[in-house]
Chain A
């Protein structure tokens, strides 16, 4: 169902103010198709009926369903290219230089909502490519955590479908995947840097033990939390970073008004948060 520009803007602003996810105008068709599904499910006849539902006491629950629709299939390899480029050309060399000076040759990265592992493994491939240059003799540790054990097991298995690898550059695909019967099997070389564990981001007792990371990633999760929960989790991430470490959310997310300690660092095509 087509939504008018005015209704699109209204819904976009409402969703953004509530959860911090921004729908770009270029994503209007995408939002329309997902909204249509939810409107059918809830019996809302027009975009404005649906908007009224989101604003009603039942709205919080409905918003979760909508976000589920919107973020399904959102995980794939090389999902956020601008982020990766900035890490590769700027943030990683910067951290390697300052840690190297102190003789501390260890890099720790956390994919804090690792799902089936695509983000953690993308980073692993990226770092592998620097193994003989920038990261020669460095210890690399990538930790993936998720609340859902099924996806953790998938991540550990490291077998993907064509959809997940659609953005993988050819060079990487040839080097790090073996194709078998339409499935893409990740090479042990990529897997060896990465461990996966179950973790609930609400679990304070466990969160305090996730220490000394240089980079933390948490995409498409904080949008589900209310402001208080968001602030608490983000504060944990802040504490879990090394001084000068970086924190990244999904590419349409915003932490505006959530935490005033992080500095926002802009790079071509995006921004990240620096301790």
Chain B
């Protein structure tokens, strides 16, 4: 299918959604504040405190096993100090995504959806670290948002999307191919259009658009390859939306892996088996994080 036509179809689809979630103004402000060179912790905490939902969520997240503080952290200021300014960025942004989509589960259930999102974020960060990618938080955030188009389909085109999902459970057809058949576009293009509406930087938009096709990336193919691989690993390690049992892959044949191998030859030494086992070990932490976020 023609890529441009698919993009146009996605654009039209997104344009017809009049109640598309927005990213809270506070999140944007926090992110801007964090980018300024002489930012002070109190300032960040004060600004975040103006958004109570965000505050509550950040405190929940920081107390989960993923960040594992030695004792419970009950104030936002301590959370900011504990996480450091870099990490507070990822937590703040994640928190606003959850706000934007939390009542928009649709066909996909909220918890497995976020388990996948956090899983891909976490694995992306681990891979980024292994290849000494310049910005680990970027990899993490791109991982969290890579399937944003799927969330939109699941909520706004629920009935058709349910049929698409059903198909992928019944026979070995890739989700993107089934979507293209049904909608004339896929969650990758739709996600891109939303990221565009939200004024996300190009690297993130591209990661969303090409997470199934990293070879097409132009501005940051390495980031797309990281997300592509993190996504693949999550689909086979119990962070896969409840899963499609027939999914298999051979790493060597995956374009994401090939891109990273070309750029970072030392990756050939990676013990992939052990990497998978370590991933299994991290899965309960991700699940606990998600369940703590959504517990009332």
Give every chain B residue within 8 A of A24 (Cβ-Cβ). Answer: 277, 280-281
Contact (Cβ within 8 A) A274 B236: no
Give every chain B residue within 8 A of A252 (Cβ-Cβ). Answer: 277
Map CB proximity to B onto A86-105 as digits: 1 under 8 Å, 0 otherwise: 10011100000000000000
Interface of A is mostly: mixed
Q: For the complex, count residues of A whose C-beta is within 8 A of B.
A: 25
> B228 at the A/B interface (Cβ < 8 Å)?
no
Measured between alpha carbons, how far is A255 from B276 in the docked complex, in Å?
A: 13
Closest to B272 in A: A264
Contact (Cβ within 8 A) A274 B277: no
Measured between alpha carbons, how far is A256 from B238 in the docked complex, in Å?
A: 22
Contact (Cβ within 8 A) A265 B248: yes
Measured between alpha carbons, how far is A264 from B235 in the docked complex, in Å?
A: 16
> B251 at the A/B interface (Cβ < 8 Å)?
yes
Contact (Cβ within 8 A) B281 A254: no
> B284 at the A/B interface (Cβ < 8 Å)?
yes
Residues of B237-289 at the interface with A, using a CB-CB cut-off of 8 Å, are 237-238, 240, 243-252, 271-274, 276-277, 280-281, 284
Closest to B232 in A: A266
> B69 at the A/B interface (Cβ < 8 Å)?
no
Map CB proximity to B onto A242-275 as digits: 1 under 8 Å, 0 otherwise: 0000000000101111000001111111110010
Give every chain A residue within 8 A of B84 (Cβ-Cβ). Answer: none
Give every chain B residue within 8 A of A26 (Cβ-Cβ). Answer: 281, 284
Map CB proximity to A onto B221-239 as digits: 1 under 8 Å, 0 otherwise: 0000000000011011110
Q: For the complex, count residues of B whose C-beta is within 8 A of A.
A: 27
Contact (Cβ within 8 A) B249 A254: no
Contact (Cβ within 8 A) B274 A22: yes
| A254 interface neighbour in B233, B238, B250, B273, Cβ under 8 Å | B273
Contact (Cβ within 8 A) A263 B248: no
Among B237, B243, B281, find the residue whose CB has the most chain A CB atoms closer than 10 A. B281
Within the complex, what minimum Cβ distance (angstroms) separates A31 from chain B? Answer: 13
Contact (Cβ within 8 A) A268 B251: no
Measured between alpha carbons, how far is A261 from B39 in the docked complex, in Å?
A: 53
Contact (Cβ within 8 A) A266 B248: yes
Measured between alpha carbons, how far is A264 from B268 in the docked complex, in Å?
A: 13
Contact (Cβ within 8 A) B248 A256: no
Contact (Cβ within 8 A) B247 A268: yes
> A71 at the A/B interface (Cβ < 8 Å)?
no
Give every chain A residue within 8 A of B251 (Cβ-Cβ). Answer: 264, 266
Closest to B240 in A: A268
Closest to A255 in B: B273
Give every chain A residue within 8 A of B252 (Cβ-Cβ). Answer: 263-264
Measured between alpha carbons, how far is A24 from B274 in the docked complex, in Å?
A: 10
Measured between alpha carbons, how far is A24 from B244 in the docked complex, in Å?
A: 24
Known: A24-B277, A252-B277, A264-B272. A86 touches B248 (CB 8 A): yes
Known: A89-B245, A90-B172, A274-B250. A264 touches B273 (CB 8 A): yes
Contact (Cβ within 8 A) A266 B281: no
Give every chain B residue within 8 A of A22 (Cβ-Cβ). Answer: 273-274, 277
> A85 at the A/B interface (Cβ < 8 Å)?
yes
Give every chain B residue within 8 A of A274 (Cβ-Cβ). Answer: 250
Give every chain B residue within 8 A of A255 (Cβ-Cβ). Answer: 273
Give every chain A residue within 8 A of B244 (Cβ-Cβ). Answer: 268
Measured between alpha carbons, how far is A16 from B276 in the docked complex, in Å?
A: 14
The 6 closest A-B pairs by CB, nearest first: A254-B273, A22-B277, A25-B281, A256-B271, A266-B236, A267-B248
**Interface pairs (24), CB distance under 8 Å:** A22-B277, A24-B280, A24-B281, A25-B281, A86-B245, A90-B245, A90-B248, A254-B271, A254-B274, A256-B271, A256-B273, A257-B271, A264-B272, A264-B273, A266-B236, A266-B248, A266-B251, A266-B276, A267-B247, A268-B247, A269-B236, A269-B238, A270-B236, A271-B236
